C-alpha cells in the first residue's frame, strides 16, 4: 500500500526527557517509510527555544526547531519527565494552545503528559498515565480523567504510558497511513512481540514477588484493585474478604502463595509506593502525602515508609533532588 499523504511529526523535548521514548517512536516510522518505499513520515526535534537538550541518559540532542516554529507540523508529541516545566510558561503554554486551536494534533509520552496538562491541553480528554506517575498526576490534576491503558487516543490527543507504548502508538500511526500489513512488518523487523492497540492495560509490579498484576489469580487481583481504590480511606481486610467472597484465612493463604505477603502487609506496601510516587514526583508536603495515603500524621507515615524503603521520606526526597538539580535548575527524572 502506498499513500500520497505526508505527515510531519514534531517531538518537543525537555531536559531530562526519556530518550527511549523518542527512539521508540521514530524508528518504526523510519522503517515504515523504507518498507513502503514512501516518505509518508518525517520528524523534527523541537525544544522551547531551539537550544540543545540533554536526555536523561546524558546524551545531547540538537533540535531542528524552536517551539515558535511548529505551525507547519501535523502532530506534536511532548517528551519529558513529570517535573518538567517551560522556562517561560506563559509564552510557551500560550503557543501550544494556539497551535491546538489551529488544528495541530497534540500528544505526550510518559511524563510528557504533565507539561501538556499544565498548558490546559488535556482538559476534557482521557489520558494514559504510567502507573508510577498516577498518584502524582491525580494529585496535581484531580479533575482530569486518566486510564491505565498503555495507549489512549481521544480525538486529537494521543498519549502513551512509556517507551514500549510509544512503539505501539507509532504502529497505530503506520497502520492508519499505510495499512496493517506494513505495520505488522515493522513490528516484525524489530521483533516487537505483540502489536497492542487501545484497551490494553499496563502491566504493573506486585511489589512483593516476581510477578506482575496481570499474573495474579482473580481473587487476589480483585482484592488488590479494592486496595488501590482505598488508598486515602483505608479499608479493613475483613471487608475486602467479604467483597471477594472468601474468608480472611483463605485470602491470607492466597496472598502468601502468590505475593509472599499478607493482605495487610501488601496493602501497606501499596500505600507506601503511592506515597513514594508523591514524594518523588510532586511538591506535596509530608503531611499532605500522609493524608493522601491514609495516615493521620506525617510521623506515622514516615515510620512505615522507613520500614519499607529503609530511608526516611525526607532523606529520600533530598537524595532524589541531588540528581535532579543542576545549576539551580530542576533536572526532571525520566
Q: Are 86 and 47 in contact (CB under 8 A)?
A: no
Whether the per-residue pLDDT at 123 is higher than 90: the answer is: yes
Q: How far, in whole angstroms, is CA 139 from its chain's centroid?
A: 14
Element (H, E) at 308: helix 298-309
**Which of 30-39, 111-120, 199-208, 261-270 has the weakest average pLDDT?**
199-208
**20-59 pLDDT per residue, tens:** 999 999 999 999 999 999 999 999 999 999 999 999 889 9
- Spatial CB neighbours of 194, under 8 Å, sequence gap ≥ 6: none
Whether the per-residue pLDDT at 8 is higher than 90: the answer is: yes
Alpha carbons 41 and 19: distance in angstroms, whole number: 20
Q: Which residue has the higher pLDDT, 115 or 2?
A: 115
Please spell the DSSP secondary structure of 239-278, one letter per residue.
HHHHHTTS-HHHHHHHHHHHHSS-HHHHHHHHHHHHHHHH
Please give the C-alpha separations between residue 293 and each of 270, 304, 324, in angstroms, as whole numbers.
9, 11, 25
Quote the pLDDT of residue 83.
87
Quote the pLDDT of residue 329.
38
Task: Measure the N-to-C terminal CA separation of the chain; round to a whole number of Å.
Answer: 37
User: Is the pTM higher than 0.75?
Assistant: no
The SS3 of residue 301 is helix
- The Cβ of residue 32 has, within 10 Å, a number of other Cβ atoms equal to 24
Amino acid at each position: 500500500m502506498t499513500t500520497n499523504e505526508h505527515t510531519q511529526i514534531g517531538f518537543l523535548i525537555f531536559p531530562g526527557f526519556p530518550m527511549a521514548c523518542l527512539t521508540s517512536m521514530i524508528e518504526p516510522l523510519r522503517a515504515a517509510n523504507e518498507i513502503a518505499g514512501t516518505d509518508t513520515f518525517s520528524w523534527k526535534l523541537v525544544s522551547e527555544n531551539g537550544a540543545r537538550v540533554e536526555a536523561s541518559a546524558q546524551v545531547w540532542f540538537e533540535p531542528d526547531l524552536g517551539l515558535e516554529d511548529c505551525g507547519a507540523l501535523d502532530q506534536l508529541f511532548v517528551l519529558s519527565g513529570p517535573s518538567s516545566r517551560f522556562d517561560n510558561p506563559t509564552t510557551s503554554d500560550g503557543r501550544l494552545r494556539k497551535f491546538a486551536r489551529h488544528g495541530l494534533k497534540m500528544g505526550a509520552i510518559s511524563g510528557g503528559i504533565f507539561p501538556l496538562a499544565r498548558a490546559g491541553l488535556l482538559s476534557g480528554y482521557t489520558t494514559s498515565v504510567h502507573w508510577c506517575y498516577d498518584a502524582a498526576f491525580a494529585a496535581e490534576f484531580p479533575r482530569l480523567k486518566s486510564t491505565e491503558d498503555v495507549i489512549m487516543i481521544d480525538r486529537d490527543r494521543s498519549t502513551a504510558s512509556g517507551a514500549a507504548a510509544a512503539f505501539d502508538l507509532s504502529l497505530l500511526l503506520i497502520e492508519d497511513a499505510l495499512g496493517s500489513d506494513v505495520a505488522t512488518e515493522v513490528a516484525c523487523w524489530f521483533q516487537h512481540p505483540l502489536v497492542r492497540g487501545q484497551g490494553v492495560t499496563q502491566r504493573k509490579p506486585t511489589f512483593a514477588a516476581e510477578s506482575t498484576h496481570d499474573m495474579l489469580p482473580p481473587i487476589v487481583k480483585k482484592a488488590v484493585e479494592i486496595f488501590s481504590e482505598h488508598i486515602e480511606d483505608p479499608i479493613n481486610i475483613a471487608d475486602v474478604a467479604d467483597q471477594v467472597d472468601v474468608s480472611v484465612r483463605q485470602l491470607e493463604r492466597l496472598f502468601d502463595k502468590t505475593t509472599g505477603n499478607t493482605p495487610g502487609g501488601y496493602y501497606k506496601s501499596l500505600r507506601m509506593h503511592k506515597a513514594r510516587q508523591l514524594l518523588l514526583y510532586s511538591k506535596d508536603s509530608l503531611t499532605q502525602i500522609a493524608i493522601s495515603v491514609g495516615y493521620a500524621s506525617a510521623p506515622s507515615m514516615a515510620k512505615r515508609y522507613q520500614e519499607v524503603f529503609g530511608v526516611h521520606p525526607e532523606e529520600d526526597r533530598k537524595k532524589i533532588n541531588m540528581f535532579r538539580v543542576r545549576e539551580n535548575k530542576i533536572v526532571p527524572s525520566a
